[in-house]
């Protein structure tokens, strides 16, 4: 899953593709590099980010989705708003990637049930301005069990709203209401999420827990634009366990690494390509 941020304040690319024209060119480059799916988002979810109004989010993503879908790309919309999800599916998106797991907008599940789109349910506890504060990173039973239980609860709500099991993909929500150490614990315990029986998408690319791992001797985290090698290494490990999808910024590097892995005898069947 290649990332197309149509935002001026993304943590990873600093608004480099914030216009429709730049986002379209970037999307085409990602497809040429081997992306199977393009995730188009109009709202930054980095810690501390301020939400755009719905009209602004719609203006950012719908023209990009419309054109990319017309060019034959398989498109996902990265949104927490049912209104944006509905308009995006109408414009040609096949997947709704809701980082709030349906918590931010109670109408999201109705839209997904009515359209039949694939829904990525991510583990989430609060919006970006709050998610790293106070009790949001506290998991009394441990982060692995906490994420598993909360995702299972969101699945039950989605199914009760009419979403079919075959529409669902789960995302453990790395970086959302989790400390750096909790992200590593969650990755090590990913089997608990996989045991829920749904495909799993993981988005680790360029996130701060990688920057902390690669920190300089004085403790300064590795800058965002110098975390890609670690992200590719993690993608290979996740591919080896058969996750459904890898959400990445550098599609070419990830696909190249996966090509080498497959050439050396990776299983013929599995999740990540």
Q: Give φ, ψ of 97 to 5 degrees.
A: -105, 95
| Annotated catalytic residue within 81, 148, 207, 227 | 207
d(CA 119, CA 137): 25
pLDDT in tens, 216-266: 999 999 999 899 999 999 999 999 989 999 999 999 999 999 999 999 987
pLDDT in tens, 223-232: 998 999 999 9
DSSP string, 157-214: HHHHTT--GGGEEEE--TTSS--HHHHHHHHHTTHHHHTTSS-BEE--TT-HHHHHHT
Residue 204 and residue 234 in contact, taking contact as beta carbons nearer than 8 Å = yes
d(CA 152, CA 124): 12
Concerning whether 207 is annotated as a catalytic residue, the answer is yes
* Residues in Cβ contact with 190 at an 8 Å cutoff, skipping those fewer than 6 apart: 172, 200, 202, 238, 241, 243
Query: Would you give per-residue pLDDT tens digits along the chain (273 residues)?
Result: 999 999 875 545 556 666 899 999 999 999 999 999 999 999 987 666 778 899 999 999 999 999 999 999 999 999 999 999 999 999 999 999 999 999 999 999 999 999 999 999 999 998 877 767 767 899 999 999 999 999 999 999 999 999 999 999 999 999 999 999 999 999 999 999 999 999 999 999 999 999 999 999 999 999 998 999 999 999 999 999 899 999 999 999 999 999 999 999 876 555 554
Concerning whether 247 is annotated as a catalytic residue, the answer is yes
3-class secondary-structure state, position 227: coil
pLDDT of residue 16: 64
Q: Give the H or E element holding residue 40.
A: strand 38-41
pLDDT of residue 203: 96
pLDDT of residue 265: 84
| Annotated catalytic residue within 60, 178, 222, 247 | 247
Q: Is the pTM of this model over 0.85?
A: yes
Which string of b and e fits 139-151 if b means at least 16 CB within 10 Å? beeebbebbbebb
Give the position of tokens 């949001």.
136
């Amino acid at each position: 899953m290649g990332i197309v941020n149509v935002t001026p304040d993304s943590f990873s690319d600093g608004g480099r593709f914030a216009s429709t024209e730049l986002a379209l060119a970037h999307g085409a480059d990602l497809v040429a590099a081997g992306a199977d799916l393009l995730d188009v988002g109009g709202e930054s979810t980095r810690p501390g980010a301020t939400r755009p109004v719905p009209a602004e989010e719609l203006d950012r993503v719908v023209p990009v989705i419309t054109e990319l879908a017309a060019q034959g790309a398989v498109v996902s919309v990265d949104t927490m708003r049912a209104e944006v999800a509905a308009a995006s599916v109408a414009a040609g998106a096949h997947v709704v990637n809701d980082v709030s797991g349906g918590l931010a907008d109670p109408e999201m599940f109705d839209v997904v049930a009515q359209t039949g789109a694939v829904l990525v349910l991510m583990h989430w506890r609060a919006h970006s301005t709050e998610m790293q504060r106070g009790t949001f990173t506290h998991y009394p039973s441990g982060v692995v069990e906490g994420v598993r239980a909360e995702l299972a609860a969101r699945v039950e709500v989605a199914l009760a709203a009419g979403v079919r099991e075959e529409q669902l993909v789960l995302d453990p929500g790395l970086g959302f209401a989790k400390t750096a150490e909790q992200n590593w614990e969650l990755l090590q315990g990913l089997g608990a999420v996989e045991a829920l029986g749904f495909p799993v998408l993981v988005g680790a690319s360029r996130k701060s827990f990688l920057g902390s791992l690669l920190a300089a001797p004085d403790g300064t985290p590795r800058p965002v634009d110098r975390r890609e090698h670690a992200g590719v290494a993690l993608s290979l490990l996740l591919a080896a366990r058969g996750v459904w999808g890898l959400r990445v910024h550098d599609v070419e590097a990830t696909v190249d690494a996966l090509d080498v892995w497959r050439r050396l005898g990776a299983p013929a069947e599995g999740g990540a390509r």
